Amino acid sequence: MKSLKDYSLNLTEDQYHALPAWSYSTIARYAKEGFSAIATLHEPFTPTPSMEFGSLFDCLVTDRYNVDNRYVVSDTVPPPAEKNVLDCLSAVTDKPFDLIPDATVARAIETCSYYPKWKYETQLTHLAEYKDYYNARISGKKIVSSADMSDALAMVDSFLGNPYIGSLWNTSSTDEEHLYQLKFTAGIKLPDGRKVSVKCMPDKLVVNHRNKTVQPIDVKTSSAPAYDFAENFVKFRYDIQASLYTTVLRIVLNAHEEYKDYTVLPYVFCDISRSDKQPVSYVYDPMSEDQIDGFSFKDYKYKGWRELLCEILDYEETKAVVPKYILTDEANDLISILNSK
């Protein structure tokens, strides 16, 4: 029997992100920001420091044997002027700092207008103080501080030491496969008949061949304690992630005879915060009767990802300049608009 891994996309993470298919993050951004997000919805964004730290933690728990290939620890932080020159150098050469020809260094210094009144020897001496930063940059790895790495490792110990999470990460059973960050894509027919391609990359799948189940798991890091994860679940619309990923997984399973009768279990989110390093896990069933067409609790229902994607496509295809509830050829009734929000 083939592993589910054999039916996944053989792509790097960068290649996956460049894949022209709709993702949770894109749809969720529209869900959070509304029409104002349409103009820049497909533009790349710069990760925040907290997102970068979250990626480090994810790597430690889902791709631990590859950490040294992806990260380098360095506490050398050059001032802005020196950093500007060293970044410029790293863009034109991959030689270690001590082996860079003087002419190359001089050109970078001139390009960056680095203390032009100083002699070259003085400029070089000051730059050399931060060569560890430059050498880390040309390694192609992401630079993390020793404090960040220490914190992330402490979080890993707490995370994997949690009894419930530890049971999810246990690979001792011969009936189970533990698969990390597999990448999938699938064609989806939307309610209005349009066909789109969507993609997903679950942090972890536990495939139990005896019980014929697939358990999707996502690792989350939060600034607030994990006991407050419910707030982030709504804020970041993680229901969209669970629903979209479960839909794609179901399509992939149905496409292969040996997996057709496997059940995709309710989604599990394992959250931990840097603030208290106390992990807490949550379960959400996007395929329940109440949630299948959208996310609802109490008296409010949030639009599902299919409906949201239909809206995005409508706006993009019509090159809309205002939201659909705004009139441009007559006056808008303010009270009606406020009541609809």
Cα distances from 153 to residues 62, 148, 158, 288, in angstroms, run: 13, 9, 9, 36
How many Å apart are CA 266 and CA 259, to the nearest integer? 17
Helix, strand, coil % (nearest 5) of the chain?
A: 50, 20, 35
User: What is the structure's pLDDT at 290?
Assistant: 74
Which of 61-70, 236-245, 271-280 has the lowest average pLDDT? Answer: 61-70
The length of the chain, given as a count of residues: 341
pLDDT over threshold 80, residue 86: yes
pLDDT digits (tens, 9 = 90+) for 136-154: 889 888 999 999 999 999 9
How large is the average pLDDT for residues 295-305?
89
pLDDT digits (tens, 9 = 90+) for 107-137: 999 999 999 999 999 999 999 999 999 998 8
Give strand ranges (E) for 147-277: 176-180, 184-189, 195-200, 204-208, 213-222, 263-264, 267-273
Could you tell me which of 149, 146, 153 has the C-alpha nearest to residue 76?
146
> Using CA atoms, how far apart are residues 110 and 103, in angstroms rounded to an integer?
11
Note the pLDDT tens digit of each residue in 176-198: 999 999 999 999 999 999 999 99
Q: Quote the pLDDT of residue 172.
A: 76
Q: Are 334 and 341 in contact (CB under 8 A)?
A: no
Average pLDDT in the 38-67 region? Answer: 92
Query: For residues 143 and 76, is the Cβ–Cβ distance under 8 A?
Result: no
Give the chain's radius of gyration (CA, Å): 24
- The CA distance from 92 to 145, in Å, is 25
DSSP state of 12: -
Residue 293 in this model has a pLDDT that exceeds 90: no
Closest CA to 22 of 45, 46, 41, 47: 41
Q: pLDDT at position 176, please?
A: 93
Per-residue pLDDT tens digits for 247-286: 999 999 999 999 999 999 999 999 999 999 999 999 999 9
Flag whether pLDDT at 298 surpasses 90. Answer: no
CB atoms within 10 A of CB 52: 14
CA distance 9 to 59: 19
- Contact between 50 and 58 under an 8 Å Cβ cutoff? The reply is no
Read off the pLDDT of each residue in 6-15 and give the average, rounded to a whole number.
94
Q: Which domains does the chain have, with CATH numbers?
A: 4-45+151-318 (3.90.320), 76-144 (no CATH)
